[in-house]
Every structure is written in C-alpha cells, then in structure tokens.
Chains A and B, each alone.
Chain A
Amino acid sequence: MAKAIKQGKVEAVKSHLSSPWASFVAILVAVLWTIPTFGLFVTSLRPQTGINSSGWWTVLTKPEFTLENYSRVLFEGRGATPPLSQYFVNTFAIVIPSTIIPITIAIFAAYAIAWFDFKGRNFIFFGIFALQVIPLQMSLIPLLQLFSGGLHIGSVTVIPSFGITGTFIPIWLAHTMFGLPLAIFLLHNFIAQLPRELMEAARVDGADYFKLFRQIVLPLSIPAIASFAIFQFLWVWNDLLVALTFGGGKREIAPLMVRLAEMTGTRGGDWELLTAGAFVSILVPVAVFFALQRYFVRGLLAGSVKG
C-alpha cells in the first residue's frame, strides 16, 4: 500500500517534470542547430549559377537540383591537383592504420598495467595519464625533425631517417603516439575492472599471461575497444594539424581535411565545389557517429580529456 502511494508520487513527479514548453524550446534549438548543415547540403545540390545569385532558402519556392557539383569536385582534377576522390582514398589510408596500431599497442599496455605485478606500475599509470597534459604542439617540431633527419648525437647516428618523409608512415606514427595516452587510460579503466576471480581462476587452470590475454581479456574488452576505436577514427578523420605538419604539403598523401582547408583559401568563392566537398568529408564520420552513437557516448563519459 505504502509502496503504491510512493509509486504514485514518483509518477506525479515525473509527469510534472516533463513539460510541453521544455519540449518546444528543445525542438526549436535542435532545428536551429541543424540549419547551417542543412543549408550546406541544399547548396551542394544546387547549380552554380543559382548558388551565386540567390540564397539556398529560395529553393523552397523554386527548387532546382543537380548532382554535377559532386561529380566535378570528386572526379575532375585541375592541372597538378588531383580530384577530391584521391584525397578521400588518402584519408582512408591514413585513418585505418592510425586507428588499428594505437589500439593494439594500448590494449597490450593497459593489460600489463592493470594485471602484472611489478614495482612502479602506479607511477607508470599516472605518468601516462599526466602525458595528456602535453599539447601535441609541443611535439611537432622535434618529431618532424626526427622523421626527416633521424637522430644524431654529434656525428653518431642513433636513429637513421629511414627515408619515410613523403609517405603515410610519419602520419600513422604521429597519430599513434598522440592517441596512446587516452587509449591506454580508457582501456585500463575497463580492463582493471574485470573480475579478479575470473582472472585468478584462469591462472589456476594453467593459463599463462599470454593465454589469459587471448582467451579472457581481449574478448571481454571488445566494448571498450569499440568506444576508443570510434573516438580515434573520428579524431583522425577530422584532423588537420597532424596531417598538415607530417604530410609536408605533399598532394599524394594529403587527406580530405588538408585539401578542403586549402580550397577555402584558394577557391573561397567556388561555393558549389566547397559545399559538395565539405559534405563528402562530413558524410562518413556522421554515418559512423549515428550508427555507433551509444559507444561514442560511453567513451566520452569514461574520459573526456584529450591532450
């Protein structure tokens, strides 16, 4: 009886809390938030003459659409500049290794820090967490020098240059290094919470540290891995600074973002190309985001600090 009354009160509180006014304002804000992107999308589908002579909102009264902007920006190069489809391929070539490599290294390290018994593991954990303090700007110059010239002390070559400048390799390595602190931190939080009994039972069964990792830790960590993978994927896909610095301005390896930033400078008035290009670059991350929103939010809530 008392419980029923309490239940009734909770219901009353809840129904009082949900107000139509709040809904109305929230929906209004959401519409407002979407208008700029919607305007870009509409513009990308309009013919060039229309874009430059009337606002995109006029399509409501006189609709006129074309896919020509997309075919032009994607497949027509200009002189030495390849079309956007090439940059799209480059983005893929950068994103996939830049996501796989740091995750692999991070999950190994997270496992070691969480479950190996050794002196200084707390120090290492907080050290790695503290590394998120370092803004990546602090690393750009020395890393670039290292990749292009190797490391020399006096006349002794400690690390040769390997001649990797102008390939994707410096970009992969840079993204791996910059992504590691957050990756280790997030994955460690997850792995450290695996039930101790489970791990110890497996140890008694004779499973060594390697088997334990393969048979228990890795399969159970899939949700945490997914969270971080989405993070890193979006971060690398949307990155401009790292690609700009370590790509050295070479067109053969430049990703979409580098080209788009360049286009706004050199072809700032060609809105038919800019809008179509921007929309192409937005499409994949937004699709990933909507498909895997739940994992993304989980990752965000687990650790919202990135250096």
Chain B
Amino acid sequence: MLELAARQSQLEQAASKLTGLVITVIVFAIVVSLAFYLAERTSERVQRSVKYLLFLAPALIFLFIGLIAPAIRTLYLSFRDARGDNFVGLENYIWAFTQPEILQILRNTGIWMVVAPIASTALGLTIAVLTDRMKRPGLVKSLIFMPMAISFVGAGIIWKFVYQFQPNDRVAEIGLLSQIAEWLGFVPTNWILTAPLNTFLLIVVFVWIQTGFAMVILSAAIKAIPEEILEASMLDGASGWKRFGKVTVPMIRGTIIVVLSTITIGALKVFDIIRTMTGGNFKTSVIANEMYNQSFRALNYGTGSALAIILFLGVIPLVAYNVMHLRRERSER
C-alpha cells in the first residue's frame, strides 16, 4: 500500500517535470518566432539594425556573461583570499607550487598529459592502419568507436568493476583483471589503492574512450592520401612497414599532431573518471578534481581560481597550435 503511494508520487513528480520541460520548449519557440515575426514586419531601415539585435546579440551576450566576464573574474579571484575579500598577491599560486599534496596533483596531471595522448594516438593510428586494410571495417570501427558515446562516469563504473579486488581469499575474484592475474599465476592486489599504478589504471579508462576518436580522425586522413602516391610507392617495391613510415605517417603528420593536442587538452581537464573511480583519493587526484574540491568543498575561491588559471595556462599552447593549424589549412584550401 505504502509502496503504491510512493510509486504514485514518483509518477506525479516525473509528469510534472516533463510538463515543465514541454512548456519550456514551447515558450522558447514562441519567443523566438515572435521576435522573428515582429522583426520581419519592420521597415527596411529599421531592419538594418534590428537584424544584428536578433541574430548576433544573443550569442554575444551569452558568451560575455558565460565565458569572458567569468574568466576575467576568476583571474581576479585567484589573487584574493578564500571569500574574495582581501588581496593576497601570489599567495594562492605559491600555495599551489609548494604544498606537497598539490605538487603530487600537478605531477599526476603531467603523467596524464604525456601518457594518455601518446597511448591513445598510437593505438588509434595502429587500428586506423589495420582497418584501412580490411574489406569491411564497419563493425570493427564501430565497436572501437562506441566508448566515445559512453560517459566518463559510465566508463568509470565499467572499469572499476574490471579492477574489483576480493580481499577475502576464500571467495572467488569477480574483477576481470584480478582473475587474469590469478590465471597467469600472479597474486592480485587491490589495484585501485596501489599508487602509482592506480593513476595508470585510470589512464587506461581514458585511453579506452579516446582511441576511437583518434582512430576516426586518423582513418579519414589516411583515406585522403592520394591513391597515386601509395601506388607509386608500391611499384617502387616499398614494403608494408616502409610504406607506413615513409609515406603514410609523413602525409598525415599534421592530423596526428592535432589529434595529440586535442587529446592532451582532454587529459589536462579530466575530472569525471577520477571523481567516479577514486574520488581523488589514494594519490590519484588531478588539477580539475582539486579545483572542484577547493572551490565547492573547501569553499576556497582563491585557491580554486588559482588552480583554474594554472589549467588555463596549460591549455593555451595546445589550443594555439590547433588554431594555427586550422588557419594554415584554410589558407591552403
């Protein structure tokens, strides 16, 4: 009886939320259409300026409020104390680069930035080359690409289960990794608690997701290599390996670097995997996770902002490279 009432109220809650959702979408559609309708009916002279107001202004306002102004304020807050009341100079940055725990976090982030992109790109490139030589690569590519659709949280749970360790000797292992270790004659340990191994185990999860991304982009680049060039190298008698090293890789060098830098940016900002799998404990924390903890757990906006700025400084050279590459590509076209 009680359960029935509980289900009833659940249903009501869900219904009211969905109604709210439908109403929101309808109201949004009406507002946009109305603005359009009215603007279209003004005189040509008015339209000349109204068109900017309708088409361009909303985006610029959102970008200003959502990104530009907050970024400036975060920079400002990084020089101030926990509540942003007093100027503290470089104290938050000095804190970040002297506290042993934070240094550990910076080191972890460094490991992520180096290992994750190289592993993902190397694997992605290998698979791209392999599938390029297949007659029907569709299903294989889809399966490797699929983790891209899975959230970091979902992937975290999937892999936490793989790494599950059974401390009680009399009970069978339920984690695949522990079982494989046992089959191979090793004694499984509590993987997730063992530093620095655990950081690499978390990187595996990220690589599992990003390899598909690398594969898709690199695969497209390989397909774009002109047939004649491959043909010529074939007729010159270049072997498979030689062709790969001397023709394929140099031809897609630009793409490889873009893939590397894009994945590096992702690795630098990784948060969900850490949050789900270790919560940042056992020496696995990274900048993005600590930034969240400082800001919204410890409620220290000063240190939180300083960490965000450090993250930003790490991202800049990578994105700058991508932008330059894009501009060059455009001018070549």
Contacts and interface: CB of A to CB of B under 8 A. Distances in A.
Interface of A: 9-10, 13, 16-19, 22-23, 25-27, 29-31, 33-37, 39-40, 43, 51-57, 75, 77, 82-83, 85-86, 89-90, 92-93, 96-97, 100-101, 104-106, 108-109, 111-113, 116, 118, 124, 128-135, 137-143, 146, 168, 173-174, 176-178, 180-181, 184, 208-211, 213-214, 234, 237-241, 244-245, 252, 257, 260-261, 264-265, 268, 271, 274-275, 277-278, 281-282, 285-286, 288-290, 293, 297, 300-301, 304-305, 307
A77 B10 contact: yes
Given A36-B158, A77-B10, A116-B55, 7 more contacts: A31-B143, A37-B146, A82-B13, A108-B55, A109-B56, A142-B74, A210-B51
Given A57-B176, A278-B154, A293 B70 contact: no
Contacts of A54: 172, 174
Contact of A180 (B66, B157, B276): B66
Contacts of B230: 13, 17
B208 interface: yes
B89 interface: no
B6 interface: yes
Nearest to A50: B174
A240 to B, nearest CB: 4
B30 to A, nearest CB: 13
A301 B312 contact: no
Given A29-B144, A132-B319, A86 B70 contact: no
A138 B148 CA distance: 25
Contacts of A307: 315, 319
B271 to A, nearest CB: 5
B96 interface: no
B157 A278 contact: yes
Given A86-B14, A143-B66, A174-B66, A30 B52 contact: no
Contact of B62 (A40, A180, A297): A180
Contacts of A300: 213, 216-217
Contacts of A109: 55-56, 58-60
Given A130-B323, A289-B149, A51 B154 contact: no
B320 to A, nearest CB: 8
Contact of B152 (A33, A104, A240, A290): A240
Contact of B66 (A29, A177, A240): A177
A240 B14 contact: no
B149 A17 contact: no
Size category, B interface? 35 or more
B137 A89 contact: no
Contact of A141 (B139, B144, B152, B301): B301
A265 B40 CA distance: 54
Interface stretch (B20-28, B104-112, B195-203): B20-28
A305 B262 contact: yes
A31 B230 CA distance: 30
A29 to B, nearest CB: 6
B55 A29 contact: no
A302 B24 CA distance: 31
A132 B60 CA distance: 14
Nearest to A94: B21
Contacts of B153: 238, 240, 257, 260-261, 278, 281
A135 B318 CA distance: 12
A18 B132 CA distance: 8
B54 interface: yes
Q: Is the interface of A mostly helix, strand, loop or mixed?
A: helix
A291 B325 CA distance: 32
A108 B312 CA distance: 29
A176 B62 CA distance: 8
Contacts of B275: 240, 261
17 contacts: A23-B134, A31-B143, A36-B159, A36-B161, A40-B157, A85-B10, A93-B20, A108-B55, A112-B55, A116-B55, A130-B323, A177-B67, A238-B152, A293-B142, A301-B216, A305-B262, A305-B322
A27 B140 contact: yes
Q: What's the dominant secondary structure at chain B's contact region? A: helix
Contacts of A19: 133
Contacts of B66: 139, 143, 173-174, 176-178, 180
Contacts of B47: 208-210
A9 B231 contact: yes
Given A104-B32, A109-B56, A241-B292, A26 B159 contact: no
Interface in B46-105: 47, 51-52, 54-56, 58-60, 62-63, 65-71, 73-74, 77
Interface string B222-259: 00000100110011000000000000000000000011
A111 B59 CA distance: 12
A202 to B, nearest CB: 15
Contacts of A34: 143, 146
Contacts of A23: 130, 133-135
Contact of A37 (B127, B158, B315): B158
Interface centre among A106, A180, A305 (most CB of B within 10 A): A305
Contact of A234 (B130, B140, B149, B279): B149
